[in-house]
Structure 1
Amino acid sequence: MFTSFVKIAWRNLTRHKAFSFINITGLALGITCSLLIMLWVQDEKNVDAFHANGSRIYQVYERNFYDGKVDAGYNTQGLLAEELKRVVPGIQYASGLESASPPGTGNTFDAGKEIGKAAGFFAGPDFFTMFSYHLLAGNKATALTEPASVAISKTMAEHYFGDAQQAIGNTIRFDNKEDLKVTAVFEDVPANSSVRFEFLRAWTDFVKQNEWVNNWGNTDPVTYVQLRKDAGAAAVETTIKDFIYRYTEKNSNWRVELALQPYTEKYLHATFQNGYIAGGRIAYVNVFTYVAIFILLIACINFMNLATARSVRRAKEVGLRKVVGANKSTLVLQFTGEALLLTAFAMLLALVSAALLLPAFNALTGKALALPVSEPLFWAAILVMLVVTGVVAGSYPALFLSSLKPVKVLKGSLKFSNGAVLFRKGLVVFQFTLSIMLIVGMMVIYRQMNYIQSKNIGYDRENLVYIPIEGDLIKNYSVFKQQVLQLPGVADVSKMRNSPTVIEHHTGSIDWQGKEPNVTISFADAVVGYNFTKTMKLQMAAGRDFSPVFGADSTSYILNETAVEKMGLQNPVGHKVSWGGRAGTVIGVLKDFHFSSMHQTIEPLIVRLDDNWPWGTILVRTKAGNIKETMAGLEKICKEVNPKFPFTYQFSDIAFAGLYNSEIMVSKLSDYFAILAVIISCLGLFGLATFTAAQRTREIGIRKVIGASVANIIALLSGSFLKLIVVAICIAFPLSWYVMNNWLQGFAYKISLDWQIFAGAAFATIAVALVTVSYQSIKAAVGNPVKSLKTE
């Protein structure tokens, strides 16, 4: 019997090639999309899962209560890790972590070979004991205990020393200002680690080089702790809640609490709301999990409709089989087997397609995914997907065909009940509801990203170059600035601590005349050089910029409009302000500009002048055009002024776009998946159009005989499908509005969900549906009515 089923299935597959091709292609598209998405989802969920002690590692975060609100973040005190380990019994190990260079730059290394760049951190002595980064050489307990020591990656060791063993004990020049002893070599950080680094330096050096660390009011590093096996996270969290008040006085206007987050959850749950963890990348993981399921469902529904469309031609086969003794269960088994065979071909095609598409998919998502063909669990999952998809896709056609009455079928009076017709139409409505939701989502995400990219953020991010201040640029900044300004393609030069894209430093120690005693405001703070506002093309709302003409500007301040509003100042220029006890005068007010992503509102900002600040970013405003020659000139001057360091730079617009990497990736993925969902849905609609045309053959012939035109017939057939699309639109629009409105809440600055988005989605869907059904409608309308009347 099994052999007979296989032969019959194969004959049907090869006899109706067009039908088989469409069915297999539709299923393959759905499986390919779902497979790629699930690989991505699995990779996201596996980030940081490789740490052996992961269940006991936690990241410390802070809640700040001030100005009537609650904020939270991962920046903590520089001395916190060692003190937590020393004081709290439930904490076994602890480590701070702080970047060794400004964001987007890196540090320079030289070991007698070509000078190179690498990115890394300062880390505590317990770091390698806590985290499972494999050491190829060195001792994890002592790798980061010595001052002026460094642990480097395998790639760095091979580049500078030949291999890991030869690197141990050798020295390497760091930023051309100190020699570091290599005490350990670790395997390159795996792709599924959320923390990426090429070297780690001893924490003692960080504390020694940064005096501000000793002040418990300052925060910047992140802190990790590993609990003892018998310690409960809730009990430890209660113990450390008010921990910093062991070392600093309580302030009724500004309260700080410490809390714990499981380290393995941080990557996917890194967004705060009202001081508590409220989501993050997990939202995208959940959304795309549903998208994978929905696309596979659409493909299965497509299969059902196409199989039903073929049922008229197979009805007599079923009737004859029943006459010669076949029972319903045998027929169900036969048709389910045929569905599984088709699904097997689709699965094979999907695996090949996924393998071919993975390089492009990896480039889009920034991953290094691969089909885990050597893992038994992968093939088990594929088998489960094949069986489930085959059974779901083939269930309705199998049950429908097996239930046909042989007498009616053989008499040529095959009719379908209203329930069966409604079910098939319901499947199409469901398909297009999901497809329309994906189209609306695609349009909303595209418009939001376009809004972010085109919105006036308060400064001109085009033709603005960031150059890190490092090496001899620190002492030769004046010479560098003079020479750069002589380049024909350069308009202005200034400098800034950090960069305009991300101002990380914040302070609450701002006082001013008239300030209420119980008010504390958190200010973003920036240190800049002369010509800052001119170079950035910022607008002054009042007053002036810093200028060398005024000697007192070294003790002056500039505020933004939000700061003025928060401070309640009516005439801010000339007002006395103190920053950390450093008294000065407000000389200007900047119009608000964005210095972080649009997920956040513009914060109060205070700016002071220090043209000799020893680190940060040089800002170069170039003129439009001839950028290649200008960059070549900048590189030449950098090599002359700072010969021990490679020329490193970043364009402002690229740095700005980097704030939205996740959103840009989601936008592109949603585009592709929405298009594919529509294509698959249209294949199903094509199947239903074929089925309907076959069912109404005699009706069409009669209508043509009594005078109906081709246009009348086309309108008749197409109109029934348009009704289904309209129903899908009515269901999809409120659901789409709800989902996308929730997504937009993650942005402080966002588009509105206006009618044009939904009208565009409706128009696109109707247009595509009409094109899909037009072929079968026209074919039926122009057919010979004599032949149509002979069919029954």
Structure 2
Amino acid sequence: MIKNYLKIAWRNIVRNKAHTFINVAGLSVGLVCSLLILLWVQNELSVDGFFKNSSRLYCVYEHQNYDHTMHGSYNTPGPTAEQMKKVLPEVEYATSAGFDQTNTFQVGDKILKQSGSAGSADYFSVFSYKLLQGDAKSALNTPASLAISRKMAVAFFGSPQAAIGKTIRYENSKNFTVTAIFEDLPKNSSQKFDYLINWYAFLNENGWAREWGNQGPATFVMLKPNTNPAAFEKKIAHFLDAYNGTIRKTSTFIIDLGIQRYDEGYLHGKFEGDQFVGGRIEYVRIFSIVAIFILLIACINFMNLTTARSVKRAKEIGVRKVVGAERWVLIQQFIIESLLITIISVGISLLLLVLLLPVFNQITQKQIELPFNQTSFWIKLGLITLITGLVSGSYPALFLSSFNPVKVLKGTLRLDVGTTLFRKGLVVFQFVLSVILISGTIVISRQMNYIQSKNLGYDRENMIYIPLEGDLLPKYNLFKEEALRMPGIQSVTRVSDEPTNIQNGTGGVNWIGKDTTVNIQFSQASVGYDFVKTMKLKVLSGRDFSKEYPTDSVGYILNEAALKRIGYKDPIGQPLTFWGKRGKIVGLIKDFHFNSMHDAIRPLILRLREHETYGSILVRTEPGKTREALATMEKICHQLNPSFPFTYNFSDQEYQKLYKNEQIVGKLSNGFAFLAVFISCLGLLGLAMFTAEQRVKEIGIRKVLGASVGSLFALLSSEFLVLVVIALFIASPIAWYATGKWLQDFAYRTPVHWWMFALSGVIIIFIALVTVSFQSVKAALINPIKSLRSE
């Protein structure tokens, strides 16, 4: 029986080559899109899910109440982890973690930059990264301890075995002993580092992290078995009261603690108030829906084309019923045909997957591998194949098997109005999804263009960041003098944080008339002379810091947002106390963007610190002379700082990194929107071919009666264009709502105009017209004698 079904199915596939090609092409493209998204979603969901005892591993976060609003943050006081382990019996292990940073290491003559962080003694007990050498409990238990990756061990010592116990120079200032070598971190790890220094070594460099009143480091805990996480979270809510109680009693700045499972943080890391409201999980959901939509569009093509060609198979069905075939037998036959076409499409989609995955990885900046050796992949692929085949073949099977054999054999079979409307409804649904995807692509593209073209309040072109490290710190003024003598360099200054991402905040600001019932948080950065000039910021009143005014050591420059919160009407010369240092406001600058456009511009205070112990040099080069300036600065750095390799970043590139996710989403949206439209148009082409074939005699009669080619073309095309226009009217409000929701994540966003959706409609109508035009023109040009003679 099954063999007979397959034989008949294969004959039908071979006999109707154009119909088969369109179905297979549509399903293949739909399947490869769905498989790519499936692999990406699997990768996203697997991030940080590989740790032992993952269900007991938690990240501690804060609820901070300031400006009468709750704010969430993963930053905690430095001593939190150590104190939690001491006083909370539910905590089995606890570790603090420093910031991601890039530092210089040296062994002999080899000097390399490596990315890493800091961790306390329990780090490898909390995070079960595989250790190749060393012990988890002693890997980071002394200030001289250093754990490095396999890659770093091979780079410096040739092998992990040769690296253990060896000495390595750090920042040309201290020596560490390699006490552990860990396997290179998994590709699905959200943490990326090649070394970890001991926590107390980090504290020696960052004394502020010892204080309970400062936040910055991260805190992770491993709870003991059978601990109730909800009860533990409730218990630690006011944990900090005993350590920063003075702050709590004297201001409205209240900090409560909470916990989040570590493996949930990557996808659910977005705070709104004191709640988690999403994060990357939103993109996982969006693209999962897109995958379903694209596959559904391909399935609809199959339904539509098979149903449209029902008249061609009517006699076959009638004869089968007359000789005794029951309806369920016919249903099986058509379902098997659908499954066979789906299996062929799956085979082609796997070949496409092999070809496209490297490009997909490049776009998504992932390292996804083909999981052909995983049983779970083949099980999922089998389910997708089965579901696709059943969905594609279900309606045609039920519809074709319902034909009345008497009407079929008499030649009086006509498709009823309901069937025709259903088929047209499927076409409309296809193009509704296509319009939504195209509209989304247009809005995302507009937003990215808006981000690129918006005036940030400073000029990010021709500006370079050079890290202040090693001997450059004490020799910064000498570097500045030497650089300004060289051609191609306009100005030089320094700053504690790169201007594209100033994150440091404080509530330690006081002024005359301050409302003590409100705690206002200010962003802050320390800068050098000529900062305003180098950044090309607009001074609204007052001036930049100047060597002509010695009192500028306690002078402050505010942005407009800071002045608005402070409330001075004429700020220049007014008193301001920052971290207990009383000084005066010397300048007011126009607001500029120093963070992502996801966030509104925050109040900012700039203070003068020519001798800060960290930060970056900012160099403004003359247009067109960047390469010459870089060669000059590299030469100066080698002279002043020979133990450190010359490294730099461009301001505009660092700005682009703020929108990495949006850039990836934009590229994927472009590709998937194109493929959705392509699949829809394949179906439209098939329907146009069938319609022209069915109306060949009508066309011949119309031509004999004098109908022009243009009128025939309009006749054959109008039916499909009406469907596309209906789809446009249905899709536009849905697209408007969806794109509006996406844009809400940006504090600064492009306006959504009606013409964006109209443009989507124009694009769809044009593509649809081009799709059906060839077949319509071909039918209109056919010799009417041949048309009227055709059977």
Aligned residue in 2 for 1:679: 678
Matched, 1:274 2:273: yes
Aligned residue in 2 for 1:283: 282
Matched, 1:302 2:301: yes
Aligned residue in 1 for 2:42: 42
Q: Secondary structure at the match of 1:92?
A: strand
Tell me how far apart the structure 1 counterparts of residues 80 and 119 of structure 2 sit (CA, whole Å): 13
Aligned residue in 1 for 2:111: 115
Aligned residue in 2 for 1:77: 77
Q: Secondary structure at the match of 1:310?
A: helix
Tell me how far apart the structure 2 counterparts of residues 211 and 24 of structure 1 sit (CA, whole Å): 65
Shift of 1:791: 4.6
Q: Secondary structure at the match of 1:587?
A: strand
Tell me how far apart the structure 1 counterparts of residues 54 and 143 of structure 2 sit (CA, whole Å): 28
Aligned residue in 2 for 1:704: 703
Aligned residue in 1 for 2:255: 256
Tell me how far apart the structure 2 counterparts of residues 259 and 112 of structure 1 sit (CA, whole Å): 46
Partner amino acid, structure 1, of 2:38: M
Tell me how far apart the structure 1 counterparts of residues 775 and 369 of structure 2 sit (CA, whole Å): 41
Aligned residue in 2 for 1:749: 748
Task: Note the 1:427-442 alignment, pairs <5 A.
Answer: 427-442=426-441
Matched, 1:719 2:715: no
Shift of 1:486: 2.1
Aligned residue in 2 for 1:94: 94
Q: Secondary structure at the match of 1:247?
A: helix
Q: Deviations over 1:446-491 (max 9, x none)?
A: 1011111111111111111111111111111112112211221111
- Residue range with higher mean Cα deviation, 701-710 or 344-353: 701-710
Tell me how far apart the structure 2 counterparts of residues 598 and 684 of structure 1 sit (CA, whole Å): 41
Aligned residue in 2 for 1:10: 10
Task: Note the 1:312-351 alignment, pairs <5 A.
Answer: 312-351=311-350
Aligned residue in 2 for 1:196: 192
Tell me how far apart the structure 2 counterparts of residues 612 and 506 of structure 1 sit (CA, whole Å): 20
Q: Secondary structure at the match of 1:99?
A: coil
Q: TM-score, normalization: structure 1?
A: 0.97
Tell me how far apart the structure 2 counterparts of residues 411 and 28 of structure 1 sit (CA, whole Å): 38
Tell me how far apart the structure 1 counterparts of residues 319 and 782 of structure 2 sit (CA, whole Å): 30
Distance 1:791 1:395, change over 3 A: farther
CA contact (8 A) 2:132 2:160 kept: yes
Tell me how far apart the structure 2 counterparts of residues 307 and 766 of structure 1 sit (CA, whole Å): 24
Task: Note the 1:397-416 alignment, pairs <5 A.
Answer: 397-416=396-415
Tell me how far apart the structure 2 counterparts of residues 435 and 126 of structure 1 sit (CA, whole Å): 52
Aligned residue in 2 for 1:145: 141
CA contact (8 A) 1:269 1:277 kept: yes
Tell me how far apart the structure 1 counterparts of residues 788 and 402 of structure 2 sit (CA, whole Å): 27
Partner amino acid, structure 1, of 2:46: N
Tell me how far apart the structure 2 counterparts of residues 66 and 158 of structure 1 sit (CA, whole Å): 48
- Residue range with higher mean Cα deviation, 493-502 or 229-238: 229-238
CA RMSD of aligned residues (A): 1.5
- Residue range with higher mean Cα deviation, 174-183 or 68-77: 68-77
Matched, 1:173 2:173: no
Partner amino acid, structure 2, of 1:49: G
Aligned residue in 1 for 2:617: 618
Aligned residue in 2 for 1:500: 499
- Residue range with higher mean Cα deviation, 201-210 or 354-363: 201-210
Aligned residue in 1 for 2:24: 24
Q: Deviations over 1:209-255 (max 9, x none)?
A: 32212321111111111111122111111121111120121233211
Task: Note the 1:558-577 alignment, pairs <5 A.
Answer: 558-577=557-576
Partner amino acid, structure 2, of 1:15: R
Tell me how far apart the structure 2 counterparts of residues 600 and 629 of structure 1 sit (CA, whole Å): 36
Aligned residue in 1 for 2:356: 357
Shift of 1:75: 0.9
Aligned residue in 2 for 1:526: 525
Q: Deviations over 1:709-767 (max 9, x none)?
A: 22222222211111111111111111111111111111100111111211110110111
Task: Note the 1:449-460 alignment, pairs <5 A.
Answer: 449-460=448-459
Partner amino acid, structure 2, of 1:83: Q
Partner amino acid, structure 2, of 1:171: T
Tell me how far apart the structure 1 counterparts of residues 339 and 622 of structure 2 sit (CA, whole Å): 64
Tell me how far apart the structure 2 counterparts of residues 208 and 117 of structure 1 sit (CA, whole Å): 21
Shift of 1:519: 2.6
CA contact (8 A) 1:95 1:127 kept: yes
Shift of 1:315: 2.8
Matched, 1:230 2:226: yes
Aligned residue in 2 for 1:157: 153
Aligned residue in 1 for 2:640: 641
Partner amino acid, structure 1, of 2:388: T
Tell me how far apart the structure 1 counterparts of residues 452 and 38 of structure 2 sit (CA, whole Å): 30
Q: Secondary structure at the match of 1:557?
A: strand
Partner amino acid, structure 1, of 2:536: K
Q: Deviations over 1:144-197 (max 9, x none)?
A: 111111000011111111221221111100011100011100000111111111
CA contact (8 A) 1:154 1:185 kept: yes
Residues matched between the structures, number = 788
CA contact (8 A) 2:62 2:257 kept: yes
Q: Secondary structure at the match of 1:201?
A: strand
Q: Deviations over 1:335-365 (max 9, x none)?
A: 2212111111110110111111111110111
CA contact (8 A) 1:75 1:220 kept: yes
Tell me how far apart the structure 1 counterparts of residues 535 and 728 of structure 2 sit (CA, whole Å): 47
Shift of 1:383: 1.0
Aligned residue in 1 for 2:383: 384
CA contact (8 A) 2:58 2:262 kept: yes
The answer for unaligned runs of 5 or more in structure 2 is: none
Task: Note the 1:603-614 alignment, pairs <5 A.
Answer: 603-614=602-613
Tell me how far apart the structure 2 counterparts of residues 626 and 204 of structure 1 sit (CA, whole Å): 44
Partner amino acid, structure 2, of 1:59: C
Tell me how far apart the structure 2 counterparts of residues 559 and 763 of structure 1 sit (CA, whole Å): 49
CA contact (8 A) 2:251 2:516 kept: no
Tell me how far apart the structure 2 counterparts of residues 310 and 726 of structure 1 sit (CA, whole Å): 25
Shift of 1:395: 1.9
Tell me how far apart the structure 1 counterparts of residues 113 and 306 of structure 2 sit (CA, whole Å): 60
Tell me how far apart the structure 2 counterparts of residues 196 and 790 of structure 1 sit (CA, whole Å): 73
CA contact (8 A) 2:100 2:193 kept: no
Distance 1:304 1:5, change over 3 A: same
Shift of 1:113: 4.2
Aligned residue in 2 for 1:220: 216
Partner amino acid, structure 1, of 2:174: E
Partner amino acid, structure 1, of 2:48: D
Aligned residue in 2 for 1:57: 57
CA contact (8 A) 2:305 2:683 kept: yes
Shift of 1:549: 1.5
CA contact (8 A) 1:113 1:160 kept: no
Q: Secondary structure at the match of 1:115?
A: strand
Shift of 1:100: 5.8
The answer for unaligned runs of 5 or more in structure 1 is: none
- Residue range with higher mean Cα deviation, 43-52 or 682-691: 682-691
Partner amino acid, structure 2, of 1:689: A
CA contact (8 A) 1:309 1:690 kept: no
Tell me how far apart the structure 1 counterparts of residues 210 and 176 of structure 2 sit (CA, whole Å): 24
Tell me how far apart the structure 2 counterparts of residues 406 and 623 of structure 1 sit (CA, whole Å): 84
Q: TM-score, normalization: structure 2?
A: 0.97
Shift of 1:696: 3.0
Shift of 1:141: 0.6
CA contact (8 A) 1:562 1:592 kept: yes
- Residue range with higher mean Cα deviation, 6-15 or 346-355: 6-15
**Alignment equivalent of 1:187, drawn from 183, 191, 202:** 183
Shift of 1:790: 4.5
Matched, 1:422 2:410: no
Tell me how far apart the structure 1 counterparts of residues 120 and 228 of structure 2 sit (CA, whole Å): 23
